[in-house]
Amino acid sequence: MILAFETSCDETSVAIVKDGQILSNELYSQIRHHRKFGGVVPELASRLHAEYVDQILDRALASASVNLSDISHIAVTVGPGLEGALLVGITAANTLAQFLNVPLIPVNHLHGHIFAAKDEFKLRFPAIVCLASGGHTMIIEMPDPYQFKFLCNTMDDACGEAFDKVARMLDLGYPGGPQVEQLAKSGAITVPLPHPVKPKKNMFSFSGLKTAVLSAINSQNYTREDVAASFQFKVAEILAYKLEFFIKQHHYEQLILCGGVFANQTIRSHLSNSLSIENVVVPSLKLCTDNAGMIGLAAESYLQHPKIQQFKMSCYPQLGLNFPGVK
Ligand code: KG4
Ligand code: ZN
């Protein structure tokens, strides 16, 4: 029975996970506090995590009908993320682990996004993963559940960041992704947007697309709805183009789509239907964006690692794809 904490950005979340199932996954979203600033304010995020983490812990225990004495392990996101925000979750997890005398498992937030799919699907390897969130846009190869190899990264903006910036251009609030998707529902794909120049095969680029969206808005030739629909569909095409390139190179048993951007229905369905790989899995909507359930699922996988038995506990704001504390 794993108790998991996630406080890497602007969601305070605590979950209980057992045998690959999320028994509870409670969350306090700080969005309304950050909205007026147009983005996440790190200091405010840390303060709000500290204010809410124990209430969310109580809710997670109550909704799973679990007592603290039932917990066998405590998992916590240790990076990548905002340092002050991460430290709140780490402190809470560390304190409880000492109090209960149970092992602490430091979890990479990016692994959490990937293992979110485990709640509903059996993961198959070798897998290819596309992770698209507010901070990352990556294609990753996983020969097995314990190896994460970069195939493709972004050379400028992350995909979710591009959504957030386009939302701002369209006078929509923060976070932009859901609002662009909502506006796009009443639009048509009429705006000609360029596919980014392909600088390198292993790089995404979203900055040219953003500039093209700005020009389309300034030209006043298109409705805001059409701009939103066209931008969203172009992002789906960009992700699909790169994924297909790698899928053709190598045999993969499964494609795992994960991260906040895959909460977008158009992008989910375009990638599920247009690629030459049959087995495509996407976590349910609420497991695409940040939550502690996914951290508990990743921790469960860490516990089955054939070689690594101990992970060094620390805070790793700049963590890449590797296991925390293991080279
Ligand atoms: O995974 P996530 O919750 O947090 C990070 O680890 O970054 O992703 C948040 C990002 C934001 O940039 C947000 O605009 C984007 O995911 N996002 C969406 C949608 N929902 C969230 N982008 C497009 N369509 C959505 N429906
Ligand atoms: Zn995330």
Q: Which residues line ligand 1 (CB under 6 A)?
A: 9, 133-135, 160-161, 163-164, 175-178, 181, 259-261, 263-264, 289-290
AA letter at 271: L
Reported as type and span, the H/E element at residue 170 is none
E strands, the chain, where? 2-6, 11-18, 21-29, 73-79, 104-108, 127-132, 137-142, 149-154, 203-204, 254-258, 280-281
Nearest C-alpha neighbor of 295 from the set 2, 99, 29, 1: 2
Q: Is 21 helix (H, G, I), strand (E, B) or coil?
A: strand
Helices 224-249 + 159-169 axis angle, to 10: 170
Mean per-residue pLDDT for 263-280? 96
Mutation pick for ligand 1 pocket among 9, 77, 114, 163 (CB with most ligand atoms within 8 Å): 163
**pLDDT above 60 for 178:** yes
Q: How far apart (Å, rounded) are the C-alpha atoms in residues 82 and 7? A: 9
Mutation pick for ligand 1 pocket among 133, 136, 267 (CB with most ligand atoms within 8 Å): 133
Which token pair is 174? 């923060």
Task: Compute CA distances 165 → 45, 69, 157, 214, 309, whole Å.
Answer: 20, 46, 10, 10, 42
Q: Is 29 helix (H, G, I), strand (E, B) or coil?
A: strand
Q: In sequence order, what DSSP letters do the residues of 43-67 get, joined into one string?
A: HHHHHHHHHHHHHHHHHHHHHTT--
Tell me how far the alpha carbon of residue 96 lies from the centroid of ligand 1, in angstroms. Answer: 30
Task: Please tell me the residue having the least CA distance from ligand 1 atom 18.
Answer: 177
State pLDDT tens for residues 245-271. Answer: 999 999 999 999 999 999 999 999 999
**pLDDT above 90 for 5:** yes
| Ligand nearest to C-alpha 182 | 1
* Confidence bin at 200 (pLDDT 50/70/90): confident
Are 288 and 160 within 8 A, CB to CB?
no
**pLDDT above 90 for 199:** no
Tell me how far the alpha carbon of residue 141 lies from the centroid of ligand 1, in angstroms. Answer: 22
* Confidence bin at 312 (pLDDT 50/70/90): confident
